[in-house]
Chain A
Amino acid sequence: MVSLLEFETTLRPLESELEEARRVGGNGHVDSAQERLTDQLRRIYSDLTPWQKVQVARHRERPYTLDYLQWGFTDFVELHGDRSFAEDRAIIGGPALLNGRSVMVIGHQKGRDTRENISRNFGMPHPEGYRKAERLMRQAEHFGMPVVTMVDTPGANAGLSDEERGQAEAIASSIATMLALRVPTVAVVIGEGGSGGALAIAVADRILMLEHAVFTVASPEAAASILWRDAGKASEAANNMRITAQDLKYFGLVDDIIPEPVGGAHRDHAAAASSVASAINSCLQGLSELPIDELLAARYAKYRNIAFFSE
């Protein structure tokens, strides 16, 4: 059983019923208990508030980039280091096979427990992470491999040493490089798309988003502290900033939403990964058919023509 979020507490009695049915035996009992549980899950997850989605997107059992690599890809070889300063474990990357096709996968990586989270800095990259990402993008371009990115970070790390090593320049350069890559690119927001640290690897030909993922201009906590000098108003900020996959699809900022298993991706990593893999695969099939200059012109237009102003 996965750990329950605060708005999921109505599941607890249903879970005990299911356990009881399993203990007592009798397929009929188990099936109906399972059905009641699934119904309740479906009910809760069809009507999540943005703030609840933030909690789902941050769920500590939610699949991360490495889980998608394990379940949705084969033959992944992780490549390390930015060739300038260090290895940053908050962003991972390397070539892998997706449906028999070589692709370069680059993604933020959070840790599953405290120890791993410390070594991965909770998925918050330093400049080296973005420089590694950029290095791998260029390598992919050189070999004609499509680039697939997985976005899942609270944001770029904000320390003085990051400023010394050029956090802003690293992010800007990664965005600029990704926009100009002469290979097809697909980005999937799998959890938290936090600010510039997320955008650094998200400016693809197609941006997909998992059903309960969020994409924010700043984390709800940071936004609340900027707007109202009160990080405690994070839920208010989340509910106001249009951060859900459904909102961003409505504004045309993401291209497609990938449905999650009932009750969220964290309840079934394999099923989530299989949906993600097939969504990426069908995007890549479409994109690979375009001549590269058309692809680049379309990518330019996609970002240059984001409007939402008046004149």
Chain B
Amino acid sequence: MKEIFKRHPRYAHAPEAFEGMPDNLWVRCPQCRELLYAKEQESTLRVCSKCKYHFPVSAHERIAMTVDEDSFREYGQGVRAADPLGFRSPSQNYSEKLTEYAQEAGTNEAFIYGTARIEGQDVVIGAVEFKFCGGSMGAAAGEKIARAMDLAVEKRYPLVIFAAGGGARMQEGVISLMQMAKTLAALDRLRDAGLPFFSVMVDPCLGGTTASYAMMGDVTIAEPGAYIGFAGKRVIEQTIRQKLPQNAARAEFLQEHGMVDLVVPRAELPATLGRLVRLFVSCNREERRPVGEPARV
């Protein structure tokens, strides 16, 4: 009798793994729990086909997804973090950690940049590599971001940056904090040169990253669902002693509150950036202001 009233599961549960199944054949969407065929991930730009969750991608992948095929030329690969504070603690030795980060991330620092073309138009493009120490802005990463800005000024190309990361890097102390000032000083020169900066904020984009160059884009773009803000979710929850709603400080929430211009799905980004570059550059062939003189609003 009991059997009849017992609730049967309405859906069959997809097993986590079959015996003998290769580990990397399927990936599970962390948002809707759908099982996705790994091979299709590349053609879908690592976006869940069911709920449109945007999976994290590496800095190199991001640039490749956005620019014209084979147009990216990387600069500044030799810039690496030092260990200026000699940061030691029983559990962590920063200079050894740096080697680990580089192996995990496949980049020398938490930021890569270079020149590329978007819909045939020259740009300087950079991206934060989250796998390198959480994409944090140490002195080397900050230097590379500033150099991307310098390169844009030198070549007179628009600048596109995929901004992400937790912000400052604890192991470099106030030196890391000062990268906020460094990147903003460099960005001021780009502004003086009349060149546009398109900031694309991707998950997660926090702290010293948002509170410096990322929020200062001439156009600010956010990837759907990206957590963007000054404080991290955990910190806010501790401050207000409440659980945050699911959408809080996500891209759509920020747009609703007037903090970003556009929320653009990954697949539409090349076309959006292509159009923006055309719009902002066609009016601006000549240098309008001498370098060093600030723009007047």
Contacts and interface: CB of A to CB of B under 8 A. Distances in A.
B215 A311 contact: no
Interface string B124-150: 000000000000001110110010000
Contact of A306 (B92, B167, B178): B178
Given A227-B89, A241-B170, A309 B178 contact: no
A157 to B, nearest CB: 7
Interface in B228-244: 228-231, 235-236, 239-240, 244
Given A169-B259, A304-B146, A311-B78, A243 B173 contact: yes
Interface in A174-233: 175-176, 179-180, 182, 195-196, 199-200, 203, 215-218, 222-223, 226-228
Interface of A: 156-160, 162-169, 171-173, 175-176, 179-180, 182, 195-196, 199-200, 203, 215-218, 222-223, 226-228, 236-237, 240-243, 248, 251, 253, 293, 296-297, 299-300, 303-304, 306-311
A159 B259 contact: no
22 contacts: A158-B235, A159-B239, A160-B248, A169-B216, A182-B294, A199-B178, A200-B211, A216-B173, A217-B168, A227-B171, A228-B92, A240-B88, A241-B173, A248-B174, A300-B185, A304-B185, A306-B178, A307-B143, A308-B82, A309-B139, A310-B140, A311-B78
Contact of A215 (B174, B180, B235): B174
Interface on chain A toward B: helix, strand, loop, or mixed SS?
A: helix
B79 A309 contact: yes
Contacts, number: 190
B174 A242 contact: yes
A169 B229 CA distance: 9
A299 B184 CA distance: 12
Contacts of A195: 168, 177, 208
Given A160-B240, A179-B181, A217-B176, 16 more contacts: A156-B230, A156-B231, A158-B235, A159-B240, A166-B257, A171-B230, A172-B210, A179-B185, A195-B168, A217-B173, A226-B170, A228-B89, A228-B92, A237-B170, A309-B80, A309-B138
B178 A175 contact: no
B102 interface: no
Interface in B216-270: 216, 228-231, 235-236, 239-240, 244, 248-249, 253-254, 257-259
Contact of A163 (B143, B171, B236): B236
A180 to B, nearest CB: 5
Given A169-B215, A216-B173, A311 B210 contact: no
B182 interface: yes
Contacts of B216: 169, 172-173, 176
Contacts of B38: none
Interface residues of B, number: 68
B58 interface: no
A179 B188 contact: yes
A307 B239 contact: no
Nearest to B173: A241
B230 A167 contact: yes
Contact of A158 (B215, B230, B259): B230
B292 A296 contact: yes
B107 interface: no
Contacts of B240: 159-160
A210 to B, nearest CB: 15
A180 B188 contact: yes
B207 interface: yes
B172 interface: yes
